[in-house]
């Protein structure tokens, strides 16, 4: 545009000094926001006028990194079309090179060791650039100008194929050829991907898929499938425009797609499930594999069930040697793990269910500005754990870590905290944690305060309040709102397990204005794994001892006697208002699911069988104190015959009843803004029905889009809760 001046990266972001006529500068600022480079995000522009310097050129200056870093950690980016083209061009010097990359694509967070993002602060620092790469790196007109992960076959990382004892079988192109042959041969491979290892195998080979299930000890939880391209995906799944956009986006998440009627994918990939978690190749390595295969592959996290995804070659060998036949590894270290993100289209908009590679740890900008410059650390919940750091008006949430049930998972949790604090060079002044005294994350927060950072203040935050605030942050809402918070379990201020909550959110606090009638959960935590226990607890509340006779087919004689004694004497039978457990109970009452082999299995089965055309509802009562009495609902369900056909109607009516309850409570609240949050709202039928019904009443529904509605969003909500108190 014939403007003069310079541009550089600073610890505050990008600084541009520009000189020219007023009119041209204004056009420049407009164009900057419309024509910004791919994958860049402009959060805001601060403009200052200075006196003219009279220069007549424009320069790109060296980054200066003197102050503490306040720039952003970038998300990893899927391979771009230009690089893909070059990789497939036999005359290109990076032909078939699995680490081809440029300024517009490739690893970021997963190779980053510090800020600002420059090569010496990445795991590429041990690969000195060759003369040709260096020339590209230093040429401002080159697509690889300052591309930090830049590499070529001469100077960059390479791949190796190992057997499951770590013996090198082949390297470089031969390793790739042998890998492809092994996949065709029905073998299970562990491959080092971008943010961790994947376990891969032929997704059409039922025998191999079952073998993977056995070896991974994962009976039913769906596996993700990698298709070679969008047209290939359409052979197996229905893909709408928005889903396509997500699949080919630079974040390249797993997108939940509806299976086609005659879908030629092994049944065991996602048993009893109308969806397939679908993903497209996003690294050069994936493309090199998929281009040579005539079938889609399973691409599931390379971990032992319950553990975080492996990122290190040796560690992967140790953890996965019983699962994988072969290992395709490389020597570019992964600095931080990042699982594949999971997104689905719900109510015509993307909803991130697992926020990880590509999205995290990009900041969420909030209206809560922590002006005193001290940071807040939030340690999250227990399931689907994430941690978050709030600095000024940004909340930086770690990628998905997982359930904190194992020592390794807990290590991942600690790593994530240390990484965020280290990269942003901050010592948190406030630490937020869940109210639950027994969560590992809570205990960790207490320990950090005692051992690591002096003068930090602890803030216990109620679980469902955190859900509600994360929903508000997601929608950029402040002020008051009425929150419907439904999930599996969260510790309540009265020491009971909450989970079917109605909260009135005020300026800096909340009031619990309603909840489901409580019922006992025989066996406590065990009930989350055994929907039949939730069913028995629910029925015991409804019809006392008659319940044991009615549900005896779900238990052995011995079991039922033990549970009877427990319920009658209130031994290990905590009371709960959990909506999640009610879904489990109804699913079990209809004989759909006795045991959950993964979180949400019973509720998903119930959702999937619902007859979408059915409009009927069941009874319920709302008491003056806001307690929702579900006993009329259960009475109605028990009156019906539980045949396969009728179950579809019952499930629909159950979902419709819940929508009616939401609307009644919303209207009673006298609030305009209605939040729908908590793990239960991953249920498409429930969420879409509720959105429609709330809108019909002239109220405004809000739900999750970029922050998970499940416990993955808890850490962000905790940050907001503390910010409101400061
Ligand atoms: Zn590229
Ligand atoms: Zn090179
Ligand atoms: Fe929750």
Cα–Cα distance for residue pair 308/305, rounded to 1 Å: 8
The answer to whether residues 411 and 496 belong to one domain is: no
Predicted local distance difference test score (pLDDT) of residue 540? 98
645 lies in which domain range? 481-704
Cα–Cα distance for residue pair 687/682, rounded to 1 Å: 7
Work out the pLDDT band at 67, boundaries 50, 70, 90.
low
Tens of pLDDT along 604-614?
999 999 999 99
Nearby residues of 190 by Cβ (< 8 Å), 6 or more positions away: 197, 198, 199, 200, 302, 310, 316, 320, 323, 324, 326, 327, 328
Per DSSP, helices labelled H in 670-707 are 684-696
100 CA to centre of ligand 2 in angstroms: 10
Over residues 686-698, the mean pLDDT reads 98
Taking 90 as the threshold, does the pLDDT of residue 13 lie above it? no
The answer to whether residues 460 and 534 belong to one domain is: no
The answer to whether residues 563 and 501 belong to one domain is: yes
Report the DSSP pairing between strands 621-622 and 700-702: unpaired
Q: Which of 651, 639, 660 is CA-nearest to residue 582?
A: 651
Taking 60 as the threshold, does the pLDDT of residue 555 lie above it? yes
Predicted local distance difference test score (pLDDT) of residue 425? 87
The answer to whether residues 548 and 454 belong to one domain is: no
Average pLDDT, the chain: 94
Provide the percentage of residues in the chain whose pLDDT is more than 70.
98
Ligand nearest to the backbone CA of 77: 1
Report the DSSP pairing between strands 457-461 and 430-434: parallel
Tens of pLDDT along 395-439?
999 999 999 999 999 999 999 999 999 888 889 999 999 999 999
Tens of pLDDT along 465-522?
999 999 999 999 999 999 999 999 999 999 999 999 999 999 999 999 999 999 999 9
Cα–Cα distance for residue pair 342/385, rounded to 1 Å: 15
Tens of pLDDT along 69-100?
556 788 999 999 999 999 999 999 999 999 99
Taking 60 as the threshold, does the pLDDT of residue 160 lie above it? yes
93 CA to centre of ligand 2 in angstroms: 9
690 CA to centre of ligand 3 in angstroms: 19
102 CA to centre of ligand 1 in angstroms: 4
- For 476, what's the count of Cα atoms within 13 Å in the CB-facing half-sphere? 2
Q: Is residue 104 part of a domain?
A: no
Structure tokens that stand for 407 in this block: 């020592």
264 CA to centre of ligand 2 in angstroms: 42
Q: Is 5 left (phi over 0), alpha (psi -120 to 50) or beta?
A: left
Sign of the four-CA dihedral 39, 43, 46, 47: positive
The answer to whether residues 489 and 470 belong to one domain is: no
Ligand nearest to the backbone CA of 154: 2
Q: Is residue 273 part of a domain?
A: yes
Ligand nearest to the backbone CA of 382: 3
Work out the pLDDT band at 239, boundaries 50, 70, 90.
very high
CATH of the domain at 625: 3.30.420.40
Predicted local distance difference test score (pLDDT) of residue 40? 78
Measured at the CA of 111, the angle between CA 106 and CA 113, to 5 degrees, comes to 145
242 CA to centre of ligand 1 in angstroms: 23
Beta bridge partner(s), residue 622: 628
Tens of pLDDT along 23-61?
999 999 999 998 887 777 788 888 999 999 888 899 888
Q: Structurally, how many domains does the chain consist of?
A: 4
Q: Is residue 151 part of a domain?
A: no
Q: Is residue 505 part of a domain?
A: yes
625 CA to centre of ligand 1 in angstroms: 59
Predicted local distance difference test score (pLDDT) of residue 371? 66
Contact 151, 157 (CB under 8 A): yes
Predicted local distance difference test score (pLDDT) of residue 470? 98
Predicted local distance difference test score (pLDDT) of residue 451? 78
Please indicate whether residue 682 or residue 366 has the higher confidence score (pLDDT): 682
Q: Is residue 196 part of a domain?
A: yes
The answer to whether residues 466 and 501 belong to one domain is: no
Give the residue from 330, 354, 384 where a domain finishes. Answer: 330
Taking 90 as the threshold, does the pLDDT of residue 448 lie above it? no
Ligand nearest to the backbone CA of 487: 3
Work out the pLDDT band at 6, boundaries 50, 70, 90.
very high
Taking 80 as the threshold, does the pLDDT of residue 452 lie above it? no
Predicted local distance difference test score (pLDDT) of residue 70? 54
The answer to whether residues 522 and 663 belong to one domain is: yes
CA distances from 88 to 83, 91, 94, 176 (A): 9, 9, 9, 15
Taking 80 as the threshold, does the pLDDT of residue 455 lie above it? no
Structure tokens that stand for 562 in this block: 């033990």
Tens of pLDDT along 558-594?
999 999 999 999 999 999 999 999 999 999 999 999 9
Is 414 in a helix, a strand, or coil?
A: helix
At 37, which helix (H) or strand (E)?
A: none
The answer to whether residues 624 and 677 belong to one domain is: yes
Predicted local distance difference test score (pLDDT) of residue 65? 56
Q: Is residue 144 part of a domain?
A: no
Sign of the four-CA dihedral 407, 410, 416, 418: negative
Over residues 338-346, the mean pLDDT reads 97
Is 43 in a helix, a strand, or coil?
A: coil
498 CA to centre of ligand 3 in angstroms: 9
Predicted local distance difference test score (pLDDT) of residue 614? 97
Taking 80 as the threshold, does the pLDDT of residue 627 lie above it? yes
Ligand nearest to the backbone CA of 682: 3
The answer to whether residues 581 and 609 belong to one domain is: yes
472 CA to centre of ligand 3 in angstroms: 15
493 CA to centre of ligand 3 in angstroms: 15
466 CA to centre of ligand 2 in angstroms: 48
146 CA to centre of ligand 2 in angstroms: 13
CATH of the domain at 410: 3.30.420.360
Lowest mean pLDDT among 5-14, 167-176, 207-216: 5-14
The answer to whether residues 298 and 440 belong to one domain is: no
The answer to whether residues 548 and 694 belong to one domain is: yes
135 CA to centre of ligand 2 in angstroms: 10
Ligand nearest to the backbone CA of 128: 2
The answer to whether residues 193 and 297 belong to one domain is: yes
Predicted local distance difference test score (pLDDT) of residue 588? 97
Tens of pLDDT along 630-669?
999 999 999 999 899 999 999 999 999 999 999 999 999 9
Give the environment of ion ligand 3: residues with CB less than 5 A. 487, 711
Q: Is residue 521 part of a domain?
A: yes
Lowest mean pLDDT among 112-126, 324-338, 480-494, 610-624: 112-126
Cα–Cα distance for residue pair 141/682, rounded to 1 Å: 46
Predicted local distance difference test score (pLDDT) of residue 72? 77
Provide the percentage of residues in the chain whose pLDDT is more than 90.
87
**CA Rg value for the chain:** 27
136 CA to centre of ligand 1 in angstroms: 13
716 CA to centre of ligand 3 in angstroms: 13
Cα–Cα distance for residue pair 673/483, rounded to 1 Å: 8
CATH of the domain at 232: 3.90.870.40
Q: Is residue 132 part of a domain?
A: no
């Amino acid at each position: 545009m014939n403007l003069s001046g310079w541009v550089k990266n600073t610890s505050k972001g990008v600084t541009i000094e520009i000189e020219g006529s007023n009119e041209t500068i204004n056009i420049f600022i407009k164009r900057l926001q419309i024509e910004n480079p791919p994958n860049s995000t402009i959060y805001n522009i601060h403009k200052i006028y200075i006196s003219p310097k009279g220069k007549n050129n424009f320069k790109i200056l060296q980054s200066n990194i003197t102050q503490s870093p306040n720039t952003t950690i970038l998300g990893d980016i899927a391979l771009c079309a230009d690089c893909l083209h070059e990789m497939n061009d036999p005359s290109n010097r990076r032909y078939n090179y699995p680490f081809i990359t440029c300024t517009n694509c490739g690893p970021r967070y997963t190779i980053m060791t510090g800020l600002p993002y420059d090569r010496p602060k990445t795991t590429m620092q041990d690969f000195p650039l060759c003369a040709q790469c260096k020339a590209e790196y230093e040429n401002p007109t080159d697509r690889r100008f300052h591309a930090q992960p830049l590499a070529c076959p001469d100077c960059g990382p390479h791949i190796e194929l190992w057997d499951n004892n770590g013996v090198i079988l082949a390297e470089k192109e031969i390793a790739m050829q042998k890998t492809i042959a092994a996949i065709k041969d029905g073998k299970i491979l562990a491959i080092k991907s971008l943010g961790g290892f994947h376990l891969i195998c032929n997704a059409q080979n039922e025998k191999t898929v079952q073998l993977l299930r056995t070896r991974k000890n994962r009976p039913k939880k769906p596996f993700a499938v990698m298709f070679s391209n969008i047209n290939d995906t359409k052979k197996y799944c229905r893909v709408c425009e928005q889903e396509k956009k997500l699949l080919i986006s630079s974040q390249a998440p797993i997108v939940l797609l509806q299976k086609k009627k005659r879908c030629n994918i092994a049944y065991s990939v996602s048993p009893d499930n109308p969806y397939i978690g679908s993903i497209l190749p996003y690294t050069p390595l994936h493309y090199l594999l998929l281009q040579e295969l005539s079938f889609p592959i399973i691409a599931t996290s390379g971990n032992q069930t319950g553990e975080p995804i492996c990122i290190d070659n040796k560690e992967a060998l140790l953890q996965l040697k019983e699962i994988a036949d072969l290992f395709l590894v490389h020597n570019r270290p992964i600095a931080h793990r990042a699982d594949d993100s999971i997104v689905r289209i719900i109510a015509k908009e993307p909803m991130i269910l697992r926020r990880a590679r590509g999205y995290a740890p990009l900041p969420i900008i909030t209206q809560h500005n922590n002006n005193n410059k001290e940071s807040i650390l939030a340690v999250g919940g227990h399931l689907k754990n994430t941690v978050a750091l709030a600095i000024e008006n940004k909340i930086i949430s770690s990628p998905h870590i997982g359930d904190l049930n194992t020592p390794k998972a807990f290590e991942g949790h600690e790593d994530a905290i240390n990484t965020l604090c280290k990269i942003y060079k901050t010592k948190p002044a406030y630490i937020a944690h869940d109210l639950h005294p027994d969560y590992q994350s809570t205990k960790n927060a207490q320990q950090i305060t005692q051992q690591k950072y002096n003068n930090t203040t602890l803030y216990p935050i109620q679980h469902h309040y955190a859900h509600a605030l994360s929903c508000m942050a997601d929608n950029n809402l402040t002020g008051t709102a009425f929150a419907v918070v439904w999930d599996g379990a969260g510790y309540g201020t009265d020491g009971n397990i909450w989970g079917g909550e109605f909260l009135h959110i005020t300026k800096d606090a909340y009031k619990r204005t309603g909840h489901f009638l409580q019922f006992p959960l025989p066996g406590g935590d065990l009930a989350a794994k055994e929907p039949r226990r939730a069913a028995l607890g629910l029925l015991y509340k409804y019809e006392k001892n008659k319940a044991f006779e009615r549900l005896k087919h779900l238990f052995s004689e011995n079991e039922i006697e033990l549970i009877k004694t427990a319920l009658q004497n209130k031994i290990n039978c905590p009371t709960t208002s959990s909506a999640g457990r009610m879904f489990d109970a109804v699913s079990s009452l209809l004989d759909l699911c006795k045991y959950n082999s993964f979180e949400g299995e019973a509720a998903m089965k119930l959702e999937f069988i619902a007859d979408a055309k059915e409009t009927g509802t069941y009874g319920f009562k709302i008491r003056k104190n806001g307690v929702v009495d579900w006993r009329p609902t259960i009475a109605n369900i028990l009156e019906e015959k539980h045949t396969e056909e009728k179950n579809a109607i019952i499930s629909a009516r159950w979902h419709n009843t819940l929508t009616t309850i939401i609307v009644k409570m919303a209207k009673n609240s006298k609030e305009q803004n209605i939040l729908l949050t908590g793990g239960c709202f991953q249920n498409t039928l429930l969420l879409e029905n509720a959105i429609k019904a709330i809108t019909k009443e002239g109220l405004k529904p809000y739900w999750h889009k970029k922050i998970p509605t499940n416990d993955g969003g808890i850490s962000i909500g905790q940050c907001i809760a503390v910010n409101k108190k400061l």
